Amino acid sequence: MTVKNGDFIRIDYTEFVDGQAIATTVKDLAEEKGIFSEEIQYGPHLVVVGAGQLVKGFESDLVGKEIGYSGRVEMDPENAFGLHDPKNIELVPLNRFKEERPVPGMRVGMDNRTGTVTRVIGRKVSIDFNHPLAGKTVVYEYSIREAVEDQTERLKALIRTFGRVNLEAEIKDEIAVITVPWELNYYKEWIMIRRGLADLIIQHLGMKEVHYIEKHKGEKVRAELISPPGKESEAGGAQELPQGMEPKTIGEGPAPEENPASEEGSASVESSVSEESSVSEESSVSEESSVSEESSVSEESSV
């Protein structure tokens, strides 16, 4: 099988900058290179070719390759994370940092953007909003492990990849039906995630509708929530930060160490939710909400 745009494939890769491995999907290699993180789930990465998940140079190199192919691609900044633009370096007041004093190298989120603190000058903080790898030549060594052909498997893979949570899912008459634990409604960002996820499902799986069914069982749920990736035109696609460069949020919100999620932008939250009052299985309630072909979400009862 030859890889083409629209295909679902799983790949392993290692990312190199200046000869150093900075990210990988292979656990043993991460440990060997000293970049292992407990927070990362290792294993082949799902890619929807042409969806903008990868930098454009890497994604275009996949097209035309056979399943099982292993190779290497080197990309200049224009085809990787873009050129470094001095206009993206800004000074912001020190009082924007409410809970933690900024230091050079700190990754921060502000006004729906993510940047790196470069200097602290009196009561001003210099923040570089370019991607950390902007201006860098990037090398990927990768292997195309398999193609994902089954529609239901593709659906579940999209949920896991872009929702970062395992959910029950099935396809009925060109309608994707996703069962969601009611506890996820504690998170405001879930409203954004499910809308974006529905867009992806309709676009890449050709579904007519997406239905979310709310399930009540009184059980605990553990989930890591992020917004589906956006597309940054200068960098050629949604950008994946190197390991150890996760941003802190600054401004008027809660303390950075609590990892708050901005409603306007991507965020990562890992939490364990337990319900103080139990809900019996005999009185379980299901709520079904549908997403139209224009990807609008409606619910029969408010959350």
Residue 234, in any domain of the structure = yes
178 shares a domain with 234: no
User: Has residue 132 been placed in a domain?
Assistant: no
* pTM flag (> 0.75): no
Task: Please check whether residues 68 and 192 belong to one and the same domain.
Answer: no
Q: Are residues 53 and 16 in the same domain?
A: yes
Q: Where are the alpha helices (DSSP H) in the chain?
A: 27-33, 56-62, 151-158, 189-205
87-110 confidence digits (pLDDT tens): 999 999 999 888 789 999 999 988
Q: Rg of the Cα trace of the chain?
A: 21
Average pLDDT, stretch 21-41? Answer: 95
Whether residues 6 and 30 share a domain: the answer is yes
Q: Indicate the average pLDDT of the chain.
A: 78
Backbone angles phi and psi of 66, in degrees to 5: -95, 150
Contacts of 170 (CB under 8 A, 6+ apart): 152, 155, 176, 177
Tell me if residue 138 falls in helix, strand or coil. strand
Residues 6+ apart with CB under 8 A from 41: none
For range 48-76, the mean pLDDT:
94
Q: Are 272 and 161 members of one domain?
A: yes
Q: Does residue 225 lie in a domain region?
A: yes
Alpha-carbon gap, residue 145 to 255, rounded angstroms: 41
**286 touches 217 (CB < 8 A):** no
CA distance 116 to 122: 17
What pLDDT score was predicted for residue 221? 53
pLDDT digits (tens, 9 = 90+) for 3-23: 999 999 999 999 999 999 999
Q: Could you tell me if residue 145 is inside a domain?
A: yes
The three-point CA angle 160-230-207 to 5° equals 55
161: in domain: yes
Q: CATH number for the domain including 28?
A: 3.10.50.40
Task: State how beta strands 209-215 and 175-181 pair.
Answer: parallel
pLDDT at 287 over 80: no
Between the CA of residue 99 and those of 95, 121, 197, 251, 256, what are the distances in Å?
10, 18, 33, 9, 7
**Boundaries of domain holding 12:** 1-80+139-149
More confident residue, 272 or 119: 119
- Is there a single domain that holds both residue 182 and residue 298? yes
Q: Which helix (H) or strand (E) holds 270?
A: strand 269-273
Verify that 122 and 179 share a domain, yes or no. no
Please check whether residue 2 lies inside any domain of the structure: yes
What's the confidence (pLDDT) of residue 224? 52
- Mean pLDDT over 24-33 rounds to 96
